[in-house]
Each structure stands twice: as structure tokens, then as C-alpha cells.
Structure 1
Amino acid sequence: MNRNFSGKTVVITGACRGIGAGIAERFARDGANLVMVSNAERIFETAATLHNKYGTEILPLQIDITDETQVQSLYKQALEKFGSVDVSIQNAGVITIDSFDSMPKADFEKVLAVNTTGVWLCCREAAKIMVKQKSGSLINTSSGQGRKGFIYTPHYAASKMGVIGITQSLALELAPHNITVNAFCPGIIESEMWDYNDRVWGEILSTDEKRYGKGELMAEWVKGIPLKRAGQPDDVAGLVAFLASDDARYLTGQTINIDGGLIMS
């Protein structure tokens, strides 16, 4: 279903690739003004591609969402450019995979800084604008590991469980201001992050009896998905567009799995 977001301003972090780029394309197609954010220079190329394809007004920003001052600047620029912030999608995330006894403390702290603190900073600044507007939608990217932790990624599981906590807490606080706050938990989605996951988990989980080549571990895990396929970024984008729409105006504080039935809870 196509939804009309004409005249609406949508901020998307982690928008240069994967799920974030898929979400950006969906909102570009549906007529929104976009603020596309990433810490990578690639954001300008991704934004230009979408502008050329759909004619969408896009403000691309290279921002570190763990930096409070930069996040404040992000939302100030969005408001100055478009006059409102109607939807803010906190999608930027990182992962590392390592055994408990060799994981550097710096990796643990970086994952929480981006995946949890960064989500909170963006929600905070977006909500300041939305409270004045008396409307808005905050949408946060959690993970299947927000539901159930997995081996070699305790920091990632902690960070994504934290996103669900932030979502529920802010939903209660912001409901009187007509602001909804929801999250979603992607499963195995074909993306560069999952290329990394497949390679590194495959290396760690390989044994003398079973060595995982490129794509083999991911293919093995996909067999356990009831729908028998990995997800695509546009599968996720459809859910996010619903959460951002008026059809979801009575939905807040919820976290929705989008994983082909892998986790049913």
C-alpha cells in the first residue's frame, strides 16, 4: 500500500545503505521531504540517487549521532529546511562479533553509544520539536537480539534491548503530546551488515568438521525461518511506513518483529 507523506518531513539515521536506504526510498516514493543522515560520506551519493529517481527534496547530512552537539544541529537544520519534523526514524546501528574474553571494552562502549545512546539523543531532539507541533512519530530500530540475545554479541543484545526500553518509556511520557513511539525488530535482512555477520559468525562457529564458506551460515539460518527466505530492506520499509502513517495513530509503545516468523513473541 502506498501512503501519501507529501508535505511531511521524515528524518532517517543510518540512511546510506541497507535497511536505512530502503526506508528512505519508500518515503521518497511516497512523497516525503527527507533528511538522510549517516556518519559516512556515502550518504550524499545515496541521497542524490533517490532525488534523481523520485524528485524528492532531500537534505543529506554527515553526522555522528553519538555527538550531542551534532545531533542538535541535525534537527535544527531539518527544521530550518522544511519547517517541521513529523517522523524521526532512529535506524543507525553497528555490530561487532567477538568472544567474551577477547572483546575490547572500546567495542562494547561504541556499540552502546551508537545503538542506544544515539537513539535516545535523536529521540530527545526530535521530540522537542514534536511537542511544540503537538504531533509526531518516533520509530526506533531494535533487532531480533532485542528479544533474545545471541552468542558472541552481548553488547549488541544489550544495546538493542535498551532501544525497546527507551521506546516504552518515551511512549508513556510523550503520549499526552500526541506523539507515538514505536520500535521494530528486524531479523535476517539481506544487507552489508548481514554480509559481515555471515562472515564473522561463520569464522567463529566453524569447526574442523564444518567450515562455513561465504553465505553458507546465513543460508543455514534462513532454513529456520518459517517463510523460508531472508528479508529485504523494502519488507522493513513497508512496516515503518505503516508505523509513521495515520493508520497507526492508536499504536504506541509497541515493538514489532519483522523476521519472517523467526521469533514469535
Structure 2
Amino acid sequence: MSQFNNKSVVITGACKGIGKGIAEHFASKGANLVIASNDKIIHETAQQINQKYSDVHVESKVVDVSSQQQVKDLYQFAFDTFSAIDISIQNAGIITIKPFDEMTHEEFNKVLHVNTIGVWLCSREAAKYMAKQGSGRIVNTSSLQGRNGFIYTPHYAASKMGVIGITQSLALELAPKNITVNSVCPGIIESDMWKYNDKVWGEMLSTPDKTYQEGELIAEWVSNIPLKRAGTPQDVANAIAFFASDETGYITGQALNVCGGMAMN
């Protein structure tokens, strides 16, 4: 339980799924956490982690990462609580699936504001504290759609490509301050988001000759993954922990696929 012993970590999008898995992993390794989400369930998640890992301190806040003031308050709260911000993990993200010509400006904009601008706002606040400390780790959650776009999700693909661009740009800008910035690109991960993806994409990709029932589309895609399984939140947490560790101080500006070999680039 010593890898991140007494490190202070901020994690957004942490109430369930990948984000909760990340939070549990860091708590299991001794980190103190401030976890955030726009869902009030985040307080229950914090309570569960505190009960499971009684040697660490976990706080929670309801935060809209597209709000400058709420993000600023989040990082001020984290610093006031732990007197340091060692690691910042930007995991908050949303997706909708719809033909591009049916998508509204508001729908497109909302995804960009949460997925991309939220990463920038959180990174900006985290870097202020890390620069004063003389070091820090910033890790962003992108997606395989940050590599290649996919049908019916141009806004999501654009937002996740933007995360990789922000990661690379900030890695250059923050290197003189001894702050590394990296990202992970998850593929198919067992989560509520992928249950939604399976349902909606399955409906939209069905044809008169092929109708996808619940679970069939994901099963078809998973069968094409070299490792023959979907990923888990733990798989993503392991990759993020790699970038967040003290041992990776010479790695920055990278985007690591976490996809079982679904993409190799």
C-alpha cells in the first residue's frame, strides 16, 4: 500500500465506472483523494472508499468541470485539505450518439465543454499548485476515438482528439516546471457508458438483414480484439497509475492505448 503513500490526488468523473476504479486503485496504494463528479452519488462513492481503505482520507465534491469557478473551487478545496496537489486525473466525460446532421449545436458544444475544455480548466488549476511545489503529474483520459473518429460521434471524437492535443501542448509548456502530462486512450471498457454505447449504436447500426440485440454488438467488437476481452476499470487505472508514479518522470506528452490491441499506434 505504499506506491502513492500520502500523495494527494484529484480525480474528476469519479462516481462510477472507470473513474471509481481509478479512485479505488489510488486509495489502495495509499493516496489521499478528492474525487469529483457532477452527480451527488460522488458522496456515496467517497464514503464507500473511506470504509474500504480506512488508512487514507477521501473527500468528495459535486463539480461541473466546464465551470471555471467550480473547477477553481475544487482545486482550492483539495489544496486546503491536503496542503498539496501531487497528481491530477481528468476523467470526466460524456457521450451522445446521433447522426451528425441531427445533432444540435448545444449537444455538440456540451460534449466539447465537458470533455475538452474541462480537461484544460482542471489542468490549468492543478498546474498552479504543482508549479509552486516543484513537481506534479497530470493524466488525462482520452479515448481510442482520440485516435480515429467513429460513426455517429463526431463531437465525441473531436473532444477526445482535443484531449490528446492539450496533453501534448501542456507537456511542452509544463516540462520546465517538472510537471509531466500524459493521457490514456481506453477502448471497450466494462462500464455504464459502454452499456449505453451497445444499446444505441446497436439500434443505429442494425439493418433489415442484421438486428443487434442487447449485448450482441459489443460481443462482436470484443471478438475482434486480439486479447479477446473487454477492458476493465482496473486496466485503465493501472495505466494511469503508471503515468502518475515517481518512476515515470522522463515520460511526458504521451497517449497510451488501453484496448487489448484493438488499436496499435
State how far apart, in whole Å, the 2-side matches of 1:259 and 1:163 are.
17
User: Aligned residue for 1:62?
Assistant: 62
State how far apart, in whole Å, the 2-side matches of 1:20 and 1:117 are.
18
1:138 CA drift (Å): 0.3
For 1:151, the aligned partner's letter is: I
State how far apart, in whole Å, the 2-side matches of 1:65 and 1:246 are.
27
User: Aligned residue for 2:221?
Assistant: 221
Q: Is the 8 A contact 1:16 1:46 kept in 2?
A: yes
State how far apart, in whole Å, the 2-side matches of 1:39 and 1:28 are.
21
State how far apart, in whole Å, the 2-side matches of 1:149 and 1:141 are.
16
User: Aligned residue for 2:8?
Assistant: 9
TM-score (normalizing by structure 1) = 0.98
State how far apart, in whole Å, the 1-side matches of 2:2 and 2:127 are.
23
1:69-109, Cα deviation, whole Å (9 max, x unpaired): 01000000000000000000000000000001211111100
State how far apart, in whole Å, the 2-side matches of 1:65 and 1:254 are.
23
State how far apart, in whole Å, the 1-side matches of 2:101 and 2:79 are.
45
1:207 CA drift (Å): 1.1
1:208 CA drift (Å): 1.3
User: Aligned residue for 1:129?
Assistant: 129
SS at match of 1:125: helix
User: Aligned residue for 1:46?
Assistant: 45
Q: Is the 8 A contact 1:134 1:178 kept in 2?
A: yes
1:3 CA drift (Å): 5.2
User: Aligned residue for 1:180?
Assistant: 180
State how far apart, in whole Å, the 1-side matches of 2:184 and 2:57 are.
26
State how far apart, in whole Å, the 2-side matches of 1:213 and 1:106 are.
30
User: Aligned residue for 1:143?
Assistant: 143
Which is worse superposed, 242-251 or 87-96? 242-251
TM-score (normalizing by structure 2) = 0.98
Which is worse superposed, 96-105 or 152-161? 96-105
SS at match of 1:229: coil
State how far apart, in whole Å, the 1-side matches of 2:239 and 2:140 are.
12
1:152 CA drift (Å): 0.3
SS at match of 1:137: strand
1:156 CA drift (Å): 0.3
For 1:249, the aligned partner's letter is: G
State how far apart, in whole Å, the 1-side matches of 2:233 and 2:3 are.
20
State how far apart, in whole Å, the 2-side matches of 1:136 and 1:198 are.
37
Aligned identity (percent) is 62
Q: Which runs of 4+ in 1 moved over 3 A?
A: none
User: Aligned residue for 2:105?
Assistant: 105
1:222 CA drift (Å): 0.3
Q: Is the 8 A contact 1:11 1:36 kept in 2?
A: yes
State how far apart, in whole Å, the 2-side matches of 1:241 and 1:172 are.
21
User: Aligned residue for 2:165?
Assistant: 165
Aligned length in residues: 264
User: Aligned residue for 1:197?
Assistant: 197
Q: Is the 8 A contact 1:144 1:263 kept in 2?
A: yes
SS at match of 1:230: coil
Distance 1:31 1:80, change over 3 A: same
In the alignment, structure 1 residue 91 sits paired with structure 2 residue 91:
yes
User: Aligned residue for 1:29?
Assistant: 28
Which is worse superposed, 97-106 or 127-136? 97-106
Q: Is the 8 A contact 1:93 1:114 kept in 2?
A: yes
State how far apart, in whole Å, the 2-side matches of 1:126 and 1:57 are.
19
State how far apart, in whole Å, the 2-side matches of 1:89 and 1:155 are.
22
State how far apart, in whole Å, the 2-side matches of 1:197 and 1:105 are.
21
